[in-house]
Amino acid sequence: MKRMTVLFEDEALYTAVKVEAARRNCPLKDVVTEALREWLEAQEDAELLPAIEGARGEWQEKGGTEVGEFFKQLKAEETRKSSAL
């Protein structure tokens, strides 16, 4: 376990975090740790967003099909093949 000291320059923020910890009945360090994890995940998501948007644009450009519609079409095709036999 590593230690770190956090200095809150914003008294209202510190109070809000302390109140949240008390409401959850957990230590303040748990609330801060959770907030940092969520922030890191959001940073990772933000880095992936351009790639996701690029893939979505390519999908639309090439006339992509929604997954639900794709499976409907696949099932209909399988039904036709089974009926033909």
Model pLDDT for residues 57-73, shown as the tens digit of each residue: 888 888 888 888 889 98
Q: What mean pLDDT comes out for the span 77-81?
A: 85
Report the pLDDT value the prediction gives residue 8, as an integer from 0 to 100.
93
Beta-carbon-side half-sphere exposure of residue 69 (alpha carbons within 13 Å) = 4
Would you kindly state where each structural domain of the chain is located, as residue ranges? Answer: 29-84
| Distances from the Cα of 18 to the Cα of 5, 10, 28, 30, 82, angstroms | 15, 13, 6, 11, 65
Mean pLDDT estimate for the chain: 90
pTM check: above 0.75: no
